């Protein structure tokens, strides 16, 4: 899957674990490892938004 998520200027990757049957990813090009996950693409995107917002607060 070559899909990427974008939010507030941040980009995240999209991966799928067929054994666990869930989606996961990390925010790209940041100084920390910031991950997110979800049972479907809608949950993944919502958790990505939360992760970006939390990261912005953390770096402020």
pLDDT digits (tens, 9 = 90+) for 25-58: 999 999 999 999 999 999 999 999 999 999 999 9
Domain enclosing residue 46, as ranges: 4-59
pLDDT score for 17: 97
This prediction's pTM: 0.93
pLDDT score for 36: 98
Number of domains the chain contains? 1
Residue with tokens 């938004």: 49
pLDDT score for 1: 57
Distance (Å, whole) CA 60 – CA 57? 5
């Amino acid at each position: 899957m070559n899909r990427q998520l974008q939010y507030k200027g941040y980009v995240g990757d999209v991966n799928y674990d067929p054994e666990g049957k869930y989606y996961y990813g990390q925010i790209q090009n940041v100084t920390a490892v910031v991950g997110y996950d979800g049972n479907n693409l809608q949950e993944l995107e919502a958790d990505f938004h939360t992760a970006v917002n939390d990261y912005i607060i953390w770096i402020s």
